């Protein structure tokens, strides 16, 4: 039994007719090299190239377990690689399509180009013609042999040339696990979305290390939930499918406990030697000796390495006296162990959660990459941005590279949610993606929470929405993750985050200074650090009324920060914000009276039975009445931010005015900075709105009728959850130019 792959280019003939023959030859040569590389990585044999088509076989002259699955994996990789080749060569329409068939083949051993014949070969060519550009089709036999490790969709019956009856075909979609279903995870898992470029990069860097026999360290940095572990899982599955043997290792740094130095490295060594963490010391020592006999042939090296690995694992071998060994001695023994592994096959080490790594482990990883020569050792390190604070410069230098994973774009998040829940209405999908804010894990866990609430059900093999998702809360599975980020902050920063959670999703620095009661210099320094830690971000849109304001990088983080406050702390902070707004704005806070009232109501809700509840209720009612009276006098003018007291516009020179962004035919000036004491100019500046929450109008010139119509629908509506901070919504603001000083 052999598996035959037939691959053909789509869009190549029009390209060759319109381009110089030399350019056509160069592109075709690149395609041939690419096809041969992908096929041989998966253990296939290129049988022949026919024009712009390629035929390959698995199972001849020597068969191996998993041949059919590797042929399907090669087809998926090949169509993806051809699309990338076309984009890079300026031929965006270039694509490939593949057919894979498993069956009996007549093979002439030692004859290339004409050594295969049979119906299987002909059928593979027919399947290729039936496939859509950029896709793969396989027959039923291939699907049955590969389904444990590859996902398929039913492609239906196809009439193929030369076949008397229609043939049932299948379309492979993605790799699910290691070869044969090893480590397969059944359940909620979307296809890898928006990370194709990053996955190609870590894969090609691995192959560069293996082919050039050089060590390499790749640091992948990104916030929690952005997709680092998923990238590692995809690489794990990919490496398992390669024909060449690879020593794959994986360890995780712990965020808790004492005595966990070098924990991830010890986990890697235990994995290689099959030592369970609960094994008694004598059992672990026996497995260590067996592993040393298996991987290290020289007796003196076995003793040298064994003593040092025993210190790492906490077991004694070879009559270790227990005397002190210097770090350099330990590092040398550990390095020699990995060198002997890499001499037999490429060695890959994946270290996860390296932001928790002790300095000794990071020192060893640097030492390993610096000292190894002419051996393929690939070190992949996953960490959050905090590692850059604890160990500046890690991941830079010789044979090192750093990749940063940013949150996914909106289109990728939509694709991710659609893959998780089929046919979800756009409005419901938008709620989930808005809550996730580009973090894939947040979207996945939100969907899991909907499944737990019986709002999403499995229907005919796919998850579907069967009810109203309502108000989304932070899933329980993410509470600990986000709370741990907050707990890692120092006391001053943690207090500022709590104050900001009460102020609102967006707030100016001046408001945080006033509410926190801390020194302004200290607050601004802490804000800069929180921006570096990606707790806050800064609005930089020059056309936004919120430019220069701070906002939570993730709304879920704000919710957790708010929910971790005690009810009395919430009350005290809401009252402090209300008092600040009444002082900062003219007329006892008349312009933001509805926001002030909201803070009083939130304080009342936090502790409704306190002796001062009646007075707080009176203040809230008075604020609501003032807001209603003002609404009758002022056209609606929503603006989604935390209120900033208006200030006199700064002087702008005529030469400066020509450089300003323009709104219509009038130059628009940037927002003036907040003064040390609030005051009103004769022509009010546009305020940024304050909040537990809300977007509150200033007093701009009367809007045009079209503007009034836009904002009339923007009446501020609460969207509060049971214990969430009070977020608010309003319509999209229409910026108004700030007039220059006369």
Q: How confident is the model at residue 707 (pLDDT cuts 50, 70, 90)?
A: very low
Tell whether the model's pLDDT for residue 249 goes beyond 80.
Answer: yes
Q: What is the pLDDT of residue 542?
A: 59
Q: How confident is the model at residue 458 (pLDDT cuts 50, 70, 90)?
A: confident
Number of Cα atoms under 13 Å in the Cβ half of residue 90: 4
Nearest 5°: CA angle at 265, between 260 and 267? 80
Q: How confident is the model at residue 480 (pLDDT cuts 50, 70, 90)?
A: confident
How many other C-beta atoms can be found within 10 angstroms of the C-beta atom of residue 215? Answer: 24
Q: How far apart are CA 506 and CA 501, in angstroms?
A: 9
- Per the CATH hierarchy, to which homologous superfamily does domain 196-278+328-404 belong? P-loop containing nucleotide triphosphate hydrolases (3.40.50.300)
Exposed, middle or buried: residue 644 (CB in 10 Å: 0-12, 13-18, 19+)?
buried
For residue 741, CA distances in Å to 515, 646, 654, 723 come to 30, 14, 12, 45
Least confident of 149-163, 337-351, 462-476, 691-705: 691-705
Q: How confident is the model at residue 267 (pLDDT cuts 50, 70, 90)?
A: very high
How many other C-beta atoms can be found within 10 angstroms of the C-beta atom of residue 134? Answer: 14
Q: Which of 389, 392, 413 is nearest to 226 (CA)?
A: 413
**Which two structure tokens, joined as six digits, stand for 82?**
């051809």
Task: Please give the class, per CATH, of domain 2-176.
Answer: alpha beta
How many other C-beta atoms can be found within 10 angstroms of the C-beta atom of residue 546? Answer: 23
- DSSP β-bridge partners for residue 506: 551
Q: How confident is the model at residue 204 (pLDDT cuts 50, 70, 90)?
A: very high
* Dihedral over alpha carbons 469, 474, 478, 479 (to 10 degrees): -150
pLDDT digits (tens, 9 = 90+) for 536-585: 888 765 555 556 788 888 888 888 889 889 999 999 999 999 998 888 88
* Dihedral over alpha carbons 340, 341, 345, 349 (to 10 degrees): -130
Q: What is the pLDDT of residue 621?
A: 93
Residue range 405-410: mean pLDDT, rounded:
94
Q: Which of 613, 611, 616, 585 is nearest to 599 (CA)?
A: 616
For residue 503, CA distances in Å to 289, 558, 601, 685 come to 61, 10, 14, 21
Task: Name the H helices within 216-298.
Answer: 228-241, 263-273, 281-295
Q: What is the pLDDT of residue 709?
A: 30
Residue range 40-64: mean pLDDT, rounded:
89
The residues, any chain, with a CB within 8 Å of residue 711's CB and separated by 6 or more, are 635, 636, 637, 638, 703, 731, 734
Q: Does an H or E element contain 457, and which?
A: strand 456-459
User: What three-state secondary structure class fits 28?
Assistant: helix
| Average pLDDT score, the chain | 81
**Which two structure tokens, joined as six digits, stand for 506?**
């967006």
Answer whether the bond into residue 133 is a cis peptide, omega within 30°: no
- DSSP β-bridge partners for residue 6: 55, 99
The CATH number of the structural domain formed by 482-647+685-729 is 1.10.10.10
Q: Across 72-139, where does the E strand assignment appear?
A: 95-103, 106-107, 116-117, 136-139
Query: What is the number of residues in the chain?
Result: 742
Q: What is the pLDDT of residue 546?
A: 56
Tell me the torsion sign for CA atoms 582, 584, 590, 593: negative
8 Å CB contact between 616 and 596: no
Give the whole-number percent of the chain exceeding pLDDT 90: 49
Q: How confident is the model at residue 595 (pLDDT cuts 50, 70, 90)?
A: confident
What are the sequence ranges of the domains in the chain? 2-176, 196-278+328-404, 410-472, 482-647+685-729
Q: What is the pLDDT of residue 41?
A: 94
**Which two structure tokens, joined as six digits, stand for 409?**
């774009």
User: What three-state secondary structure class fits 609?
Assistant: coil
User: Is the pLDDT higher at 41 or at 544?
Assistant: 41
Name the pairing type of β-strands 377-383 and 347-352.
Answer: parallel
**Which two structure tokens, joined as six digits, stand for 390?**
């604890």
8 Å CB contact between 667 and 716: no
Q: What is the pLDDT of residue 201?
A: 96
């Amino acid at each position: 039994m052999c598996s035959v792959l037939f691959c053909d280019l789509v869009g190549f003939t029009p390209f060759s007719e319109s381009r110089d023959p030399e350019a056509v030859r160069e592109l075709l040569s690149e395609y041939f090299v690419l096809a041969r590389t992908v096929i041989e990585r998966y253990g296939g044999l290129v049988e022949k190239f026919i024009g712009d088509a390629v035929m390959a076989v698995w199972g001849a002259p020597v068969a191996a377990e998993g041949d059919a699955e590797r042929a399907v994996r090669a087809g998926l990789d090949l169509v993806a690689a051809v699309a990338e080749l076309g984009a890079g060569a300026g031929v965006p329409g270039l694509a490939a399509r593949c057919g894979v068939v498993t069956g009996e083949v007549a093979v002439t051993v030692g004859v290339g180009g004409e050594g295969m014949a049979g119906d299987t070969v002909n059928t593979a060519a027919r399947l290729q013609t039936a496939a859509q550009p950029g896709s793969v089709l396989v027959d039923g036999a291939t699907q049955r042999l590969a389904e444990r490790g590859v996902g398929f969709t039913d492609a239906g019956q196809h009439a193929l040339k030369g076949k008397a009856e229609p043939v049932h075909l299948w379309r492979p979609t993605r790799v699910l696990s290691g070869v044969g279903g090893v480590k397969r995870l059944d359940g909620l898992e979307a296809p890898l979305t928006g990370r194709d470029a990053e996955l190609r990069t870590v894969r090609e860097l691995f192959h560069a290390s293996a082919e050039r026999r050089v060590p390499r360290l790749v640091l992948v940095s990104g916030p929690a939930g952005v997709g680092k572990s998923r990238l590692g899982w995809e690489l794990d599955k990919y490496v398992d499918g390669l024909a060449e043997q690879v020593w794959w290792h994986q360890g995780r740094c712990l965020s808790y406990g004492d005595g966990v130095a070098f924990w991830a490295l010890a986990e890697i060594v235990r994995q290689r030697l099959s030592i369970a963490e609960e094994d008694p010391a004598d059992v672990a020592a026996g497995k260590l000796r067996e592993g040393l006999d298996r991987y290290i042939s020289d007796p003196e090296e076995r003793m040298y390495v064994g003593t040092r690995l025993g210190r790492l694992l906490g077991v004694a071998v070879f009559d270790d006296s227990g005397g002190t060994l210097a770090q350099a001695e330990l590092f040398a023994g550990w390095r020699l162990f990995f060198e002997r592994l890499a001499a037999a096959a490429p060695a890959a080490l994946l270290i996860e959660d390296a932001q928790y790594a002790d300095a000794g482990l990071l020192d060893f990883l640097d030492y390993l990459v610096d000292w190894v020569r002419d051996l393929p050792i690939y070190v992949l390190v996953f960490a959050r941005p905090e590692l850059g604070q604890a160990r500046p410069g890690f991941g830079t230098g010789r044979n090192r590279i750093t990749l940063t994973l940013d949150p996914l774009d909106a289109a990728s998040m939509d694709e991710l949610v659609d893959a998780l829940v089929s046919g979800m209405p756009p409005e419901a999908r938008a709620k989930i993606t808005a809550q996730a804010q580009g973090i894939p894990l947040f979207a996945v866990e939100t969907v899991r929470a909907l499944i737990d609430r019986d709002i999403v059900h499995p229907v005919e093999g796919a998850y579907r929405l069967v009810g109203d998702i309502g108000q989304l809360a932070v899933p329980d599975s993410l509470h600990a993750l986000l709370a741990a980020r907050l707990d890692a902050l120092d006391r001053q920063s943690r207090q500022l985050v709590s104050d900001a959670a009460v102020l609102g999703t967006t707030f100016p620095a001046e408001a945080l200074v006033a509410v926190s009661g801390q020194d302004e210099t200290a607050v601004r320094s802490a804000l800069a650090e929180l921006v570096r830690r990606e707790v806050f971000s800064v609005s930089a849109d020059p056309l936004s009324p919120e430019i220069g304001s701070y906002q939570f990088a993730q709304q879920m983080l704000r919710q957790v920060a708010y929910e971790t406050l005690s009810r009395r702390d919430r009350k005290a902070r809401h009252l402090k914000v209300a008092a600040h707004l009444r002082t900062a704005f003219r007329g006892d806070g008349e312009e933001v009276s509805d926001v002030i009232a909201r803070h009083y109501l939130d304080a009342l809700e936090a502790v409704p039975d306190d002796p001062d509840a009646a007075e707080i209720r009176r203040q809230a009612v008075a604020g609501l009445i003032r807001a209603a009276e003002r609404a009758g006098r002022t056209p609606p003018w929503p603006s989604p931010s935390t209120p900033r007291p208006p200030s006199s516009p700064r002087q702008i020179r005529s030469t400066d005015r020509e450089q300003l962004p323009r709104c219509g035919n009038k130059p628009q000036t940037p927002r003036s900075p907040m003064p040390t004491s609030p005051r009103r100019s004769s022509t009010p500046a546009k305020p940024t709105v304050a909040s537990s929450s809300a977007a509150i109008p200033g007093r701009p010139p009367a809007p045009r009728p079209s503007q009034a119509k836009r904002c009339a629908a923007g009446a501020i509506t609460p969207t509060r959850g049971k214990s969430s901070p009070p977020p608010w919504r309003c319509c999209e603001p229409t910026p108004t130019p700030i007039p220059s000083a006369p």
